[in-house]
Every structure is written in structure tokens, then in C-alpha cells.
Amino acid sequence: MTARPPEAFIGHRSPGRLRLKLPDHKGDSSFFARVAETIAALPMVTAVRVNPLTGSVLVLHGGDADAILAHGDEAGLFALARRPFAPPSAAEAEPFDPSALIAFVIAALGVVQVFRGNILGPAAGLFWIALSVARNALASAAEEGQE
């Protein structure tokens, strides 16, 4: 049984320009190098730019975009998705942890006190609190990562 090719979404399409999104292979440099090499071999293609970090393929061409999509499908590189591309929503993102921001703000207040000449009193106390908040944030993040 052969593996199903990843879904490709059309990011945008205009005469001479086609952008594909392949989120399933985001970060896979070897996959995107193979895609670029295969698509660039078509005579109508003038340039192919890939960005594995974003999962994007930009094809500049002087022909029919449908032929490029069909070639990618026939080569087993991707299958054109039948649904629109939906990037991850904010609700799916990791929840915001304010601990790092709090530690930064407290440390910044400590720097202000240093510039005011209050090194031993307020500055040292603020740095100590910032360090404690940062350590607690790191410890809780490590515990969440083990679950």
C-alpha cells in the first residue's frame, strides 16, 4: 500500500504565479527540495522558490497552472486539497503564560532602580523576585512537558 501524498492548498493563483501551501511537511527541507526539483523540470516553469519553514512553494511559470498541479499529483508529490486552507486559529495555539512577561517587567524595574542608584535595596529585591518568578515558570513548563 502506497502512502497518500500530502494535501496541497492553493495559497494564491494569478497569471504566471502559483503559491502552494503544504502544511503537513512544514520544516521538511528534503521534501521541499524534491518538490522544487520535480516542478522546475517542467518546460513552462521559469522559477521555483520553496520555504520549508512556512511550508510554501512559489512557482513562476509561463503556462497553465493546472498542468503544474497535475504534474505534482502524477509525481506523487502532493494532492490538491478539496477544501480551503485554514491556518491554525488562536484557539488552537498554546495558552499565554504571563510568568515570563512578569519576570521581565520586574527585572526591568530592577534595572531602573540600579540607574537611580538604589542597588542594595530595591534593585536587589526586584532582581530576586524576577529570578523566583522565572524559575517557577520554567519549572511549571517542564512539568507540563512531561505530562
pLDDT tens-digit profile of 66-122?
Answer: 999 998 888 888 888 876 666 656 555 566 678 878 888 888 888 888 888 877 778
Q: How many C-beta atoms lie closer than 10 Å to residue 106's C-beta? A: 19
Confidence of residue 147 (pLDDT cuts 50, 70, 90): low
Distance set, CA 64 to CA 7, 21, 26, 77 (Å): 20, 18, 26, 18
pLDDT at position 92 is 56
Q: What is the mean pLDDT of the chain?
A: 84
Of the candidates 61, 59, 54, 70, the residue with the CA atom closest to the CA atom of residue 21 = 54
* Rounded CA separation 106/132 (Å): 11
What does the buried/exposed string (b/e) look like for 24-55 if buried means 16 or more CB atoms within 10 Å of the residue's CB? Answer: ebeeeeebbeebbebbeebeebeebebebeeb
> How many residues are present in the chain?
147
Per residue in 8-50, pLDDT (tens digit) is 899 889 999 999 999 889 889 999 999 999 999 999 999 999 9
Confidence of residue 1 (pLDDT cuts 50, 70, 90): very low
